[in-house]
Amino acid sequence: MKLVLDTNAYCDYAEGVPSVVEILAEYGEEIFLPSVVIGELTYGFMKGTKRAYNERKLREVIEKLRIEIIDINVNVARKYALIYFQLINKGRKIPLNDVWIAASCLEVGGTLVSSDGHFEAIESLDRLPTS
């Protein structure tokens, strides 16, 4: 299974949360990380007191799990527009970064690993909740 990690799923894995570690071990044939998630993580690292440690750990996890990074390209941007348009028409807004994460997930045909329930508003998104 192709798994795409949301920011909270990466953080849970990095902290050794058993349920997330098990999901990645059991289902993670291929693991992806949207570039938007890297942006969110990096912002969090900048605000914290362990920036160098967290950045090093991110690089190590990416290498260890052979995570592929999903860059934003024209196809992802079009999927973003479609998702955002559909959400607005349904009267359901979610954080814009999460629309980008969902679009990235759809681009690779992956299953999103996330504890954020608002992803349920995106009907075309395959999701594996962590809690």
Residue range(s) defining the domain that contains residue 108: 2-129
Distance set, CA 30 to CA 33, 105, 108 (Å): 10, 12, 10
What's the gap between Cα 81 and its chain centre? 18
Q: Does the model's pTM come out above 0.85?
A: yes
Q: Percent helix, strand, coil in the chain (nearest 5)?
A: 60, 15, 25
So what's the pLDDT on residue 36? 98
Residue 127 and residue 106: Cα distance in Å, rounded? 11
Q: If you ran DSSP here, which 8-state letter would residue 15 be given?
A: T
CATH label of the domain that carries residue 98: 3.40.50.1010
Residue 54 and residue 41: Cα distance in Å, rounded? 9
On the question of pLDDT at 131 being above 80, the answer is no
Question: What is the number of domains present in the chain?
Answer: 1
